[in-house]
Structure 1
Amino acid sequence: MKQKTIQKNVDLVGIGLHKGVPVRLKLEPAPENSGLVFTRSDLGVSFKLTPECVIDTTMATVVGKDNARISTIEHFLSAVYAYGIDNLHISVDNEEMPIMDGSSISFCMLLDEAGIVPQNEPKKVMKIKETIEVKEGDKFVRITPSDKSLFDFEIDFKHPAIAKQAYQFYFSTTAYKEEIAKARTFGFLHEVQYLRSKGLALGGSLANAIVLDETKILNPEGLRYKEEFVRHKILDAIGDMALLGVPLFGSYVSYAGSHKLNHLLTKQILGNPNAYEIVTLNEEDTQSLAIEKIFALDSCKD
């Protein structure tokens, strides 16, 4: 199987979640083995995406270099990962990715518009060989060896509209668009009010998040999935794992995981060479991992 990029330039304009200002996002094809490269076009600063670029995980995954930062990249990266894109130039003219509707489906539609094309160099994947776990109290994220790509997540919120939710997601592009991509981010009304007092969440609204008061969901349309809250956590986890730079073959399991724990997991994986193997895919590898089916090009379309 070959590496992939997009066929043509595409762009869109959306609102940043925290600053509430318009952001233009532009995507361009990139050559083989170049990876995902971010540019702050307003500052003229570019950098390749790696776990070392992460500078904050408090409210979202934030990457940066020098004085240039780009916040809330996880929803976009989740879609890029799902489409099997290896090489891409990503340009924004402000310090946040546009939030769109709070899920990744708008980014999937943008990638559909761009088209996905194979390149000349073989694709690389990461096979997990040893179990690695990161814990914080009773919260944890764990990766274990597997020939499949599994995301297994559980949450437990002391709120009647969420409570305990669990979801197992066996990754493929088709399944991602059907089961994960439309799951929106969520927040609590009292948190939104506090964040706005600190100059954050200024772009947040019922149009780009599920908002809950003390007892119920405030969005009049309700939920898109029965387990939309935990499915969004999987969406986030896929985006955070995209910082590894290659598709991941292993079982990701989490209880109440976070951007912080995901970031620490990526660093621990890369910091332990015995824990993984980078496989350059020849025909035999492609068949054994069923990767052509997982990242099938025709599954990039509705």
Structure 2
Amino acid sequence: MQNTIKSPLSFDGVGLHSGTPVRLTVLPAPASHGVVFRRVDVVDASNEIPALWNHVRQSPLCTRLVNSDGVSVSTVEHIMAALVGCGVHNAVVEVNGPEVPILDGSSAVFVRGLLSTGLKRLDSPVLALRVLKPVEVRKGKAIARISPHETLLIEFNIEFEDAAIGEQKKTLNMANGSFVRELSNSRTFCRKADVDQMRANGLALGGTLENAVVFDGDNVLSPGGLRHRDEAVRHKMLDALGDLGLAGMPILGHYQGFRAGHALTNNLLHALFADKNAYEVVECDPNMAARLPGAGVHWGEIPEVA
């Protein structure tokens, strides 16, 4: 059955690019509501923004959602990954500014909050999107593909010149609580040269060595080093899960990303929904529900944030 959270919970931090303080509050929502963002600081226009693929306005650095009045919220991928990875199907996400707080650069703080407040079971079955045939999009050397599979399987490859990153590959089934255990605390990352360029352009003003992993050639500049040897590819998988969550329902399919990012994953959803023969919407029985993202999460077992 569908889930929401038992009670509201709030998170305080700063926006990654603006550097300004922001509060995010997750509220329970009824069955079949889905996830909707609400800009509580906006009073002169529609302030609700559905967390859906066709509301994305592509940005190279994050996932940005925009409604028909032009009201937007940016950097939604980490809270979306937490909701999808914990099996929360319905929620209102209030934010008092244009960016979701970056917190520690991962989904771990969101996950700890969600696990602390707990789930509320709703009286409606889960609908899932089952992929029926392969769909692929490309841009240069970057590829994103989705094909039939009985679970949501995420496979990701990255390649960077920086020796501290290099080439990394990982494949993970998103059921069995694996997102919480394996991906949720992996932080966003960047190269020092990219940070310098973003700062020069007035971006990443809220970025620090505490909320991002910064690489410089052979070196990891962030204090304490890496949380995982392959933290970079794990974070790309976290981002992909959050971006796939904008399908509006859990996905059963094999996602493969090679050098892919937010924009390409969104292009993939556009291509998938454009082909009515590529998917079907199914009502989940208990066996199928056990294979969905978020299934198998141990509520009340709060993972430590590294």
Which TM-score band (shorter chain)?
over 0.9
Alignment check: 8 A CA contact 1:10 1:113 kept: no
Distance 1:62 1:292 in 2: 25
CA distance in 2, matches of 1:213, 1:263: 29
Q: Does 1:23 align with 2:22?
A: yes
Alignment correspondent of 1:274 = 277
CA distance in 2: counterparts of 1:300 and 1:139, whole angstroms: 39
Q: Which residue of 2 aligns with 1:298?
A: 298
Higher helix share: 1
Cα contact 2:142–2:260 (8 A) shared by 1: yes
The aligned residue for residue 102 of structure 2 is: 99
> Match for 2:225: what amino acid?
G
Q: How is 1:202-281 mapped onto 2 (pairs within 5 angstroms)?
A: 202-281=205-284
Length, aligned pairs only: 298
The aligned counterpart of 2:170 is 167
Residue identity (%)? 34
CA distance in structure 1 between the aligned counterparts of 2:288 and 2:72, rounded to whole angstroms: 39
**1:99 positional shift:** 0.3
Contact conserved, 1:83 with 1:300, CA < 8 A, in 2? Answer: no
Residues 1:98 and 1:68: Cα distance change in structure 2 (over 3 Å): same
Partner of 2:12: 13
Query: Which of 46, 52, 55 is the equivalent residue of 1:53?
Result: 55
Q: Look up the equivalent residue of 1:234 and give its one-letter code.
A: M
Q: Which runs of 4+ in 1 moved over 2 A?
A: 288-294, 296-302
Q: Distance in 2 between matches of 1:60 and 1:88?
A: 21
Match status 1:3 vs 2:2: yes
| Residue 64 (structure 2) aligns with | 62
Give the Å deviation of 1:191: 1.3
Q: Tell me, which stretches of 5 or more residues in structure 2 are unaligned?
A: none
**Gaps (5+ residues) in structure 1?**
none
Deviation at 1:268, TM superposition (A): 1.1
CA separation of 1:12 and 1:220: change in aligned 2, threshold 3 A: closer
Distance in 1 between the 2:300 and 2:157 partners? 28
Which runs of structure 2 are paired with 1:143-222 in the superposition (5 Å)?
143-172=146-175, 174-222=177-225
1:301 Cα deviation (Å)? Answer: 2.7
Deviation at 1:141, TM superposition (A): 0.6
- The letter for the 1-side match of 2:189 is F
Task: Indicate the SS of the match to 2:49.
Answer: strand
Sort the Cα spacing of 1:301 and 1:249 in 2 relative to 1 into closer, same or farther, 3 A: same
Deviation at 1:300, TM superposition (A): 6.1
Taking structure 1 as the reference length, the TM-score comes to 0.95
Change (3 A) 1:154 1:101: same
**Aligned counterparts of 1:144 and 1:238: Cα–Cα separation in 2:** 15
TM value normalised by structure 2: 0.94
Q: The residue matched to 2:179 in structure 1 has which SS?
A: helix
Kindly state the Cα deviation for residue 229 of structure 1 after the two structures are TM-superposed.
0.5
The aligned residue for residue 42 of structure 1 is 41
**What secondary structure sits across from 1:273 in the alignment?**
coil
Per-residue deviation, 1:173: 5.3
Q: CA RMSD in A?
A: 1.5
Contact conserved, 1:173 with 1:299, CA < 8 A, in 2? Answer: no
